[in-house]
Amino acid sequence: MASAPIAAAAVPTGSAEKKKRIVLRRYVAQEEKEKELQLKQQRKLLLAAAAAKPFAQEQQEEASLASPQQQQPTNVPESAEKRKRGGGERLNDAQRLEIIRLRRQDNPPSLRSLAREFRVTEKSIRNVMQSAAEIEKRNENVDVKQQTQTFRHAAPRHPELEEKVFEWICSLKKVQINPTPSAIIEKAKVIAAGLGIADAEFKGSAGWFERFRRRRRLSDMRMSVGGDDGAGDNDDDEENRDGDEEQQQSNDVSGNSAASTKRRNEHSVALAGSSNESVVGAVGVYDLLHRLVEFENNLRLFQRANPLEHDRAEQCLANASVIRHDLLAMHANMQVRTLRANNGASPQTTKSTRHHELQALI
């Protein structure tokens, strides 16, 4: 009779671990189902967008056949019938992705049938397949609504420069940080200098940023950290603020305490002559950022030691990234207020400091 309670007491431990495994499996299975549903829904939207345009054209042809008196005369010279370059049907990215998917099937349709279905030439279908990798890459972070839009744009003058800038933006977006237009322009200037592009060839103006944004479909760029980023060439305060934001991001990633202490000292010198309240506030933000870095490091150690809590720990790390973004915004706002209170005191020192920080960021 005495052995029965001992066996019963040993059961809950094993059953608790078993329940944990069951719950974890159910959670993973549920996530997979949700992903499958999202993929199916996105595929339906793409198919609907791809079929909408040809269907509308078929309706127009049927209407024209029903009223032959309204048809255009057929005795048009052959030279006049030839369409100009870029003047025909224009595929959107949703249709291009659908063409790529169809051509990668086990039994792909012919180029002629696809050209007939999408109302384009066979050469257009071949061009889509040759640029498949580029099309898929530029649509990684683009929603379905943007994929269904058609637009024309000129090829970039410096494609390697824009590719490096886009990779930098994507690396920041992976940690849920959207850089400002001023930060993107400053980063582009630094990359251009590294590639040996002269200042006369690339000025990094607001017009270049707008064309770059359209080429890369960057429609969700936040316009400022504090609310008044004009992305102009003469916006020194905003450029200084964005340089500090990029520098602080570099500090967070590296976690080098000695380098961060040196930057804090440089920051204090740059803010000399400002009000005590502003300096204390800026230092307080730095301390909070370093504590947040320590918290993230400890959380990663906890994540490795407890693999069953991996997903929750990953969510906590994502939340910490959002908090870091907000702290950087507060820090930038305080810097802008300090510079405005000083009426632009010692602008040459501030600019040289920002230049060294940007060089260190590379």
Q: What is the pLDDT along the chain (362 residues), one digit of tens a residue?
A: 445 554 444 445 678 888 888 888 888 888 888 888 888 888 888 877 766 655 556 666 666 655 544 444 444 444 434 555 555 577 888 888 889 999 998 899 999 999 998 888 999 899 999 988 888 887 776 666 565 665 555 677 888 898 899 888 888 877 777 788 888 888 899 899 889 998 888 988 888 888 888 877 776 554 433 333 444 433 344 444 444 444 444 444 444 444 544 554 454 444 434 444 444 444 577 778 778 888 888 888 888 888 888 888 887 887 887 787 777 777 777 777 777 777 654 444 444 554 454 444 44
| Per-residue confidence (pLDDT) for residue 93, from 0 to 100 | 81
Residue 188 is encoded by which pair of tokens?
């582009």
| Per-residue confidence (pLDDT) for residue 258, from 0 to 100 | 47
CA distance 4 to 16: 19
Whether the CB-CB separation of 117 and 54 falls below 8 Å is answered with yes
Give the closest residue to 327 by CA, choosing from 271, 255, 244, 258: 244
Residue 362 is encoded by which pair of tokens?
């590379």
| Per-residue confidence (pLDDT) for residue 228, from 0 to 100 | 36
- The reported pTM is 0.33
| Per-residue confidence (pLDDT) for residue 32, from 0 to 100 | 87
Tokens 């671990």 found at: 17
How far are the Cα atoms of 25, 145, 224, 308, 314 from residue 302, in angstroms, in the given order? 21, 40, 35, 11, 11
CA distance 276 to 334: 12
| Per-residue confidence (pLDDT) for residue 84, from 0 to 100 | 53
How far are the Cα atoms of 91, 103, 117, 238 from residue 53, in angstroms, in the given order? 10, 20, 10, 44
Q: What letter does residue 131 receive in the DSSP assignment?
A: T
How far are the Cα atoms of 180, 223, 240, 336, 354 from residue 227, in angstroms, in the given order? 10, 7, 15, 11, 21
Whether the CB-CB separation of 249 and 172 falls below 8 Å is answered with yes
| Per-residue confidence (pLDDT) for residue 100, from 0 to 100 | 92
In sequence order, which residues have a C-beta less than 8 Å from that of residue 266 and are 6 or more positions away? 353
